[in-house]
Amino acid sequence: MTAGLDEAERRLAARDYRGAHELILAAIGADDTNGRAWFLMGVIAADHGNAGRAAELFEKAALLDPQEPGGHAFLARARLGLSDDAAARAAVARAIALAPAAPLTMDTIGVVLARLGDHAGALAWFEGATAGAPGVAAYWYNLGISREFLGDFAGAEAALLTSLRLDKDQPRAWWALAGLRRQTPEDGRTVDL
């Protein structure tokens, strides 16, 4: 069953939702108390913009595997999508209490805290995510935006440049980088990636 869910995660990363869905359903059919399987089903719902269904699935995953911080972190993010800030705060607090070390979970906690307006709290989680998975452009982008909100423009620029070095096809990152300082014809600034 673990091998099937490992393969489902690989397929999710490759955006093969149909293949992942089949593997996850097989895992649930074999053991409907497998929190990881319900969590992965929640990822599919979230990726397809169904925040309500995602919240239900992440809630089930967190109930079945309460010591797994990822379920709580993703539940918090889904609750934000439903404009339920109180439930998001409670879920992210549970995730934080479990001291997560997985970069994706750390980044998700940072995203939730930032969307709740706590950029100072989010910063350490984004730094942890980038330290744990330095090759993920999205984590560097999130770190850059949080640094910008906190007034660390040099740090924001460094993080955004790292993000763009990893993936040049990020309009949000280019836009954020351009907004960090006033652009003038005399500036002559170029970005060497």
| Rounded CA separation 117/149 (Å) | 10
Q: Answer whether residue 140 shows pLDDT above 60.
A: yes
Phi, psi at 41, each rounded to 5°: -65, -35
Host H or E run for residue 87: helix 85-97
- In this prediction, residue 180 has a pLDDT band, given cuts at 50, 70 and 90, of confident
pLDDT value for 2: 79
Averaged pLDDT, 95-102: 95
pLDDT value for 187: 60
Q: Answer whether residue 76 shows pLDDT above 90.
A: yes
Q: Answer whether residue 145 shows pLDDT above 80.
A: yes
Convert 141-166 to b/e letters by CB count within 10 Å (16 or more is b).
bbbbbbbbeeeeeebbbebbbbbbeb
87: its two tokens? 């439930």
Quick: pLDDT tens for 153-175.
999 999 999 999 999 999 999 99
